[in-house]
Amino acid sequence: MAGFTLTSPSFGEGGGIDSKYSCDGTDLSPALAWEGAPEGTGAFALIVDDPDARDFVHWVIFDLPGGTGGSLPEGVDPSEPSQGRNDFGRVGYGGPCPPSGTHHYRFTLYALSRPLRFPGHPSAELIKSGAEPILLGQTTLTGTYRRQR
């Protein structure tokens, strides 16, 4: 969707993600901001995954407040509501931690006509299937990470 963008002050599209946002650092979630969401957006959901590792899920957060824009601060606490379980088996953000080589991390933001209101800590697949019938648009920011050993 033209005009609907997701950005981070921590990395640009296709740019490197700092180690502080990874398992090699403090594993904080990076700050994110978005604008230009479709009119009528009642909620947002965000899924972060690694397509180089069979779409390994690093973060699921949903029912973010709607509107045309919004943001998430750096270091969202796992106790904050409306977060799903990642593929590390934890609730909240789990940063890049590739076993080898450079991996890509997709931060996909979904603009929804209404909140999903799932109980507990749903999977990314449940969020995607619930979002499908109420999806107004989506945007993606991709960063890269390579472990220094």
**What does the H/E/C string look like for 73-91?**
CCCCCCCCCCECECCCCCE
CB of 15 within 8 A of CB of 144? yes
Going from N- to C-terminal start, the domains of the chain cover 5-146
pLDDT by residue, tens only, the chain of 149 residues = 569 999 999 999 999 999 999 999 999 999 999 999 999 999 999 999 999 999 999 999 999 999 999 999 999 999 998 999 999 999 999 999 999 999 999 999 999 999 999 999 999 999 999 999 999 999 999 999 998 76
The model scores a pTM over 0.85: yes
Q: Decide which of 3.90.280.10, 3.40.50.720, 1.10.1380.10, 2.40.160.20 is the CATH code for 5-146.
A: 3.90.280.10
Distance CA 49, CA 56 (A): 5
Q: How much is the pLDDT for 148?
A: 79
Distance CA 87, CA 84 (A): 10
